[in-house]
Chain A
């Protein structure tokens, strides 16, 4: 199993530009999560999907952030327009359907907004 695959690994962009982060979950996993890690706030959940449907987006910081899951094998997190305070490591994770299925994380996308 290839695990959760995220792209790109690094993204450097200028303030105001659109950024799209991509994620391929583990095949067969019903849940997909987007987390963000910053020095100030640590690891925090942004949004999660169940069977491609967004379930909880209460962690999305503002309307500049949007996430989609058009099919079971692909999800995107988009920031438009990006701001320097969006600089962070963004992790995608997936899990199976049972309550105590652990999260499997990708290796993250390090975003730098200048």
Chain B
């Protein structure tokens, strides 16, 4: 079973506060995870990634945390800005994949950041 799940369809936060988006996966053999952001009428854009050998990766306001024992990862956005309002997808290459373009995507979480 190789699935990536985002159980929260939506999240609303106030500008300046922290946004936390969550993602769970089913296969402990997954070794690489990515987050993509998608605005309406546009394609997804790559945001940040993390390898399973790490438990944290940071890029500016965006930090991804990986908890392998719980098969859970989260994306933290601090501070949140109205321009961050978008759909966020968690994704992972299936076990045994030779490249990270072949991805299993979660269903997405719609983030709304209120001014």
Contact = CB atoms under 8 A, between A and B. Distances in A.
A12 interface: no
Interface residues of B, number: 22
A11 to B, nearest CB: 15
Contact of A48 (B41, B44, B51, B101): B101
Given A42-B107, A102-B34, A33 B43 contact: no
Q: Contact size class for A? A: 20 to 34
B46 interface: yes
Chain B interface, >50% SS class: loop
B3 to A, nearest CB: 11
B107 A93 contact: no
B100 A101 contact: yes
Nearest to A56: B102
B32 A45 contact: no
